[in-house]
Structure 1
Amino acid sequence: MALPKYADPLERAWHYIYLVICALIFLFLIAPILVVMPLSFNAEPYFTFTEKMLKLDPDGYSTRWYDLLLTFGMQEPDAVRDSSWWADAWNNAHWIQATKNSVIIGFFSTILATTLGTIAALGLSRSEMPARRAIMAILISPMIVPIIITATGLFFFYSWIGIQNWGIPYLGVVLAHATLGIPFVIITVTATLVGFDHSLTRAAANMGANPTRTFFKVQMPLILPGVISGALFAFVTSFDEVVVVLFVGGLDEQTIPRQMWNGIREQISPAILSVATILVIISIALLTTVELLRRRSEKLRGVTPR
């Protein structure tokens, strides 16, 4: 917010102090990210800045750790990089396999979480819904309960029902990640429905539209930004989650966070910093998308974006 022209010296001093405090807090939060990104280009296998890096010597920087993401686990990493080399990387590279698993699990868990979370939000947004507060508290409890407790409970529950014997790949992890993603969908869609005019649905019903047609033609276009935002949050939750995967994931269900965890335990390599940098870039892109959707949602509801 701009400082008004009529502000006295004390107000001006507080204004600049406030800006400095905000900048320091922002730097404190973003400092770990600022450190990780340049370290991922370290030419040496260290987690610290070398003398050449501090002097900005080009020899101190390298993309070798990004290249390792493609070659680690390959049968012939030193072969000519033709179509067969890329096929070898696609089928055998550990980090690529982990990426494929993360995308598959994230996609299906996001679809499930978005569908169930949107349905729940629609029900909770209606004033005649009984025990709305209690139901809301139960549905968003996965956000509040420590993740280790949720993972332990899911492990014993899945063992009891024998989900590992059902023969469906990724099923346990997908259901677990959907459980963690549903609260984010409920919160974002419910926030979008706060300004929704329910007289529109009654008008559609008076004109002969059935509930399904009313939802897809009237409600869905207006709440779509909130639904997409919730889906993005659910996907990021699944993509970054590691504790539940350690408890309920199979040996062949290595995700990126689990692969990073294994790399930290078994062999500390700056390749982990390369993965972290890529994940930061993806997260920034998703957060930018969420912000754009928030502004679009506010415009649809007649609220001036800030």
Structure 2
Amino acid sequence: MRKFPEYFTFWHIAGHYSLRFSAYLVLVFLMLPILVIVPLSFNAEPFFTFTEGMLSLDPDAFSLRWYQAIAHDQKWTLAIWNSFVVGIAAAILATGLGTLAAVGLASPWMPFKRLITALLLSPMIVPLIIIAAGMFFFYTSFNLVSTYPGLIIAHAALGVPFVIITVTATLTGFDRSLFSAGLSLGASPTKVFFDVVIPIIRPGVISGGLFAFVTSFDEVVLVLFLAGPEQRTIPRQMFSGLREQINPTILAVATLLVLLSIALLATLELLRRRSERLRGTSD
């Protein structure tokens, strides 16, 4: 049993367990709508509800038919391929641009730092429908609508703010004297940047890249405005499936996305711990 300090009264202990219970309630409130789709994706019947067989745990009421349907449906395979291609390309582009921007903003000699930071982070604040409409009219002038490059650039623009935030947080503990020491030893600024700065801020760079990838992977509004039939992604296909033909295939895809999200969160946690070890703030 947990031991409390001697000065803890009944109300201190009650408050402790009340906060704990409240935290669990919030967790259930947030996770239950997400986790409920997992058993529904194994429904043998084309329903979005639990059947009597599922409630009684009848083995015949469960099936992998909807997961098999994903592999045999050309629209879903194209959407999965597009989501990964566009997401990875957008994450790489956003990581490069966001890292350079964060390093520049971390410089003490950067003028108008707050104004530039606000402008760079504006895609996180401005309603997405406004950004999508503006990009549509702007990209039309350059024939980038309904093209892969246009979609990748648009998704990268949404991912850059996340990279800037994570890399800037990592640069907070960066000792700038290391950069000066590298220059004093005769190395070029570019070599010092890649050999000294990047290894130290790598956890933040990778974390920002993962956030940029997830942002692209989950985006549907920009795809509705900018993508053609050949550039449809998983969220776009799910949106179309809910309107055209409702079946548990959507739940199977959603379950796979949940597993992907768990894997990404685990990766971010490992990177966070590694970053703390590099800074010497954890055992």
TM-score (normalizing by structure 2):
0.97
State whether structure 2 residue 197 is matched by structure 1 residue 219: yes
Of the three residues 155, 164, 179, the one matched with 2:136 is 155
**Superposition pairs of residues 197-208 of structure 1, within 5 angstroms:** 197-208=175-186
Contact 1:3 1:15 in 2 (8 A): no
Q: Tell me what 1:122 maps to.
A: 103
What are structure 2's unaligned runs of at least 5 residues? none
Letter in structure 2 aligned against 1:123: G
Question: How far 1:164 sits from its partner (Å)?
Answer: 4.3
Of the three residues 223, 244, 261, the one matched with 1:283 is 261
Number of paired residues?
281
Task: Note the alpha carbon deviations across 1:234-279, whole angstroms, 9 max, x for none.
Answer: 0011111111011001111011111111101101111000000000
Task: Note the alpha carbon deviations across 1:63-89, whole angstroms, 9 max, x for none.
Answer: 1110110112xxxxxxxxxxxxxxxxx
Q: Tell me what 1:90 maps to.
A: none
What are structure 1's unaligned runs of at least 5 residues? 73-92
Contact 1:176 1:244 in 2 (8 A): yes
Q: Quick one: distance in 1 between partners of 2:3 and 2:40?
A: 39
Letter in structure 2 aligned against 1:70: A
State whether structure 2 residue 113 is matched by structure 1 residue 135: no
Question: How far 1:280 sits from its partner (Å)?
Answer: 0.5
Task: Note the alpha carbon deviations across 1:95-139, whole angstroms, 9 max, x for none.
Answer: 111111111111111111000000000000111100111100000
Contact 2:86 2:148 in 1 (8 A): yes
Q: Quick one: distance in 2 between partners of 1:3 and 1:25?
A: 25
Q: Relative contact order, CA 8 A, sep 6+: which one is greater?
A: 2
Q: Quick one: distance in 1 between partners of 2:282 and 2:104?
A: 27
Contact 1:123 1:129 in 2 (8 A): yes
Question: How far 1:48 sits from its partner (Å)?
Answer: 0.7
Q: Tell me what 2:36 maps to.
A: 35
Query: Which secondary structure does the structure 1 equivalent of 2:247 belong to?
Result: coil
Contact 1:143 1:180 in 2 (8 A): yes
Of the three residues 172, 175, 196, the one matched with 2:153 is 175
Runs of 4+ aligned structure 1 residues displaced above 6 Å come to: none
Sequence identity (%): 57
* Structure 1 residues 95 and 3: CA distance shift in structure 2, 3 A: farther
